[in-house]
Amino acid sequence: MARFLLIHGSNHGAWCWRDTIPALEALGHEARAIDLPSHGDDPTPIAEVTLDGYADAVLEALDGPTILVGHSAGGFAITQAAERDPSNVAGLVFLTAYVPQPGKSLMDMLAEAPEQPMKGAFEMAEDRKSFRFKPEWLSRALYTECPDDTYDYAIAHIGWQPIKPQATPATLTGRADGVPRRYIFCTEDRAIPLSHQRQMAEGFAPDETRELATGHSPFFSAPEALARLLDGIAAEI
């Protein structure tokens, strides 16, 4: 049995893991998800959100050795947490996620992507401190092949994404260098294309990567298959 902490990406919250948690529990694992600051039910004001605040939330949720799973932008949150204090981090799993590079923010890495399929997908808040997806992009890029209820469920929950943590480079101290890492490629992803995923996972050995034939949100489209992959990763690390 392994313990998993599931970390959401931009604009999402713990709610997006609703189907993956029971799938992992059915395989005998302990799994939970949290809302990062200002996401989901967390009341932190957007203006106060930082990447370090994300890391604090992850570390505060740990109670013993835990595998951290970061989806998309959540790759920055789990990395920052592990770099701060790896003592309870049993492994890092990047699910079609950003793998921080020295001196580069998520926004820097996005600008360097070989493809830009999400151009025009966002609307900016009036104070320019946050953004959110335009509704039509949810089904066009994020929730392809997901169950019919996914769009309505997401519209009811999806929120604003603070810009500051995505404009901040992760602090790569080297303290997490010994933590096992895995990357899960989502081969049909229309938000972060496979070419960009592979670019971000260049530092991973071939046996440290896995593939899912899904779009950007396998937690909705293939939760059981995702849980089986995570189960196999847990057995390795």
Residue 139 pLDDT > 90 = no
pLDDT at 211: 98
pLDDT tens per residue across span 161-178: 999 999 999 999 999 999
Is the pLDDT at 98 greater than 90? The verdict is: yes
Domain ranges of the chain: 3-236
> By C-alpha distance, which of 155, 221, 212, 216 is closest to 190?
216
For residue 140, what pLDDT is reported?
Answer: 87
> What is the structure's pLDDT at 153?
94
Residue 146's pLDDT is 94
- Which of 3.30.70.2610, 1.10.40.30, 3.40.50.1820, 3.40.50.720 would CATH assign to domain 3-236? 3.40.50.1820
Q: How many helices (H) and strands (E) does the chain have?
A: 9, 9
Task: Inform me whether the pLDDT recorded for 106 exceeds 90.
Answer: yes
DSSP letters of 84-150? H-GGGEEEEEEES-----TT--HHHHHHT-S--TTTT-EEE-TTSSEEEE-HHHIIIIISTT--TTH
The arithmetic mean of pLDDT across residues 27-40, rounded, is 98
Q: Give the pLDDT score at 70.
A: 98
